[in-house]
Amino acid sequence: MLKILLTSAVIVLLSSSEETKVFICDSENAVAYHYTKKCRGIKQCKHKILEVTKEKALERKLKLCGWED
Ligand SMILES: [Zn+2]
């Protein structure tokens, strides 16, 4: 029973990761994406803050912000 629960939990995690929303700074100099708008990193953004899927952020060659877990 526990095994079934764990398996379905993993599936949910995997399928949701593709649709994860992240926040990015709409700047040419942006290097990172963020899980929260309150992040210390994105607060330095002087441009628009965009909410995109993680996939889009990775397409822009952005890396997970250093302030995140
Ligand atoms: Zn961040």
pLDDT tens-place string over residues 9-46: 776 666 655 689 999 999 999 999 999 999 999 998 99
| pLDDT for res 16 | 57
SS (H, E, C) 22-50: EEEECCCCCCEEECCCCCCCHHHCCCCEE
Q: Which residues surround ligand 1, an ion (CB under 5 A)?
A: 34, 39, 41, 65, 67-68
CA distance 41 to 5: 36
Residue spans per domain, the chain: 20-69
At which residue do the structure tokens 């949910």 appear? 12
The residue type found at 4 is I
Question: What spacing in Å lies between the alpha carbon of 6 and ligand 1's midpoint?
Answer: 29
| pLDDT for res 31 | 95
| pLDDT for res 40 | 93
| pLDDT for res 13 | 64
Residue 60 pLDDT > 60: yes
Inter-residue contact 54 to 17 (CB < 8 Å): yes
| pLDDT for res 18 | 60
